[in-house]
Structures are given as structure tokens and as C-alpha cells.
Amino acid sequence: MKKTNDVILQTVTKIISFIIILFSIHLFFAGHYTPGGGFIGGLMTAAALVLLLLSYDIKTMNKILPFDYKRMTAIGLLIAVLTAAGALLFNVPFFTHAYDYFDIPLLGETSLHTAVLFDIGVYLVVIGITMTIIQTIGESE
């Protein structure tokens, strides 16, 4: 295999992966009122990580982002179940969500909803499963 130099791809990746991650965070938080949500936000974050994997390699990715993606999937499932079970503490049925208005400095009056916590679980599960599949296929000979 001949020696190649990917300097253009790596420089472009350094800029574009941040734009993709920002877009995925926007999709995640906009999911309540506009198209988007945990699933597509997680897929876009995984796409940014896949772009990093394409222009670098698995060893560098494990060094700069030392996540155990299987553990990330487990934490996401745990957050989703705990959000659903938290409703039982207030004597309402399983999976009942609640929302209220809070005064947050810098943002003003904002409505916070417990569905976001469930969405964070979905987001972590989607990233964890996608990256587990891709890294497992990439590592096998």
C-alpha cells in the first residue's frame, strides 16, 4: 500500500465535524416543536464521529474520545427507564410527563419538560448502538 497524505480531508474534517455536532444538538433540542428529536440528533452526532473515524483511525478516536459505547447504550436505557419510573413517585401512571415554566438567567422564562430527559436516553442509545456497530465492523479483519 502506497504512502498517502490526507491533509485536505483532515483539515476539512476538523471544521465540518463541529458544524455537524452543532446541527445535531439543534435537531435534538428543536424536536419538541419542529422536526427533529433524539433519534435523528443521535444519528447526526454518530455521523460526525464516523467522519472523524474516516479521516483518522480507530486508535486515534479511542485516544481523543475514550468512551465505552456499550456502556453509553446502557446509561441511555437507564435514563429512559428512570424518567418513566419517576412518574410513579408522584402517584401518577408510568410514563406520565410533566412540565413547568422556570426563570433561567440569560434565557428568560423557559418551559422545561421531562420529555427532554427521555429524549436524552434515546440520544445516548442511538449514538452507542451506531458507534458499536461501526467500530466492531471496522476492527474485524
Partner 1 sequence: MLDIVVSIALIAVVLSMIGIVYRVIKGPSTADRVIALDSLGISLISVIGLVSILLRTSVFLEVILLLGILAFIGTVAFSKFIEKGEIIQRDRHK
Which parts of this chain interact with partner 1 (CB under 8 A)?
A: 1, 4, 9, 16, 20, 23, 27, 34-36, 40, 44, 47, 50-51, 53-60, 134-135, 137-139
Instruction: Return the number of the residue (36 or 76) whose C-beta is nearest partner 1.
Output: 36
Instruction: Return the number of the residue (27 or 79) whose C-beta is nearest partner 1.
Output: 27
Instruction: Return the number of the residue (11 or 60) whose C-beta is nearest partner 1.
Output: 60
Instruction: Return the number of the residue (57 or 68) whose C-beta is nearest partner 1.
Output: 57
Q: How far apart, in whole angstroms, are the C-alpha atoms of residue 73 and residue 85?
A: 18
CB of 118 to partner 1, least distance (A): 21
Residues 43, 130 contacting (CB under 8 angstroms): yes
CB of 77 to partner 1, least distance (A): 26
Residue 30 neighbours by CB under 8 Å, 6+ apart: 36
Q: How far apart, in whole angstroms, are the C-alpha atoms of residue 86 and residue 111?
A: 19
CB of 66 to partner 1, least distance (A): 16
Q: How far apart, in whole angstroms, are the C-alpha atoms of residue 9 and residue 17?
A: 11
Q: Is 100 helix (H, G, I), strand (E, B) or coil?
A: strand
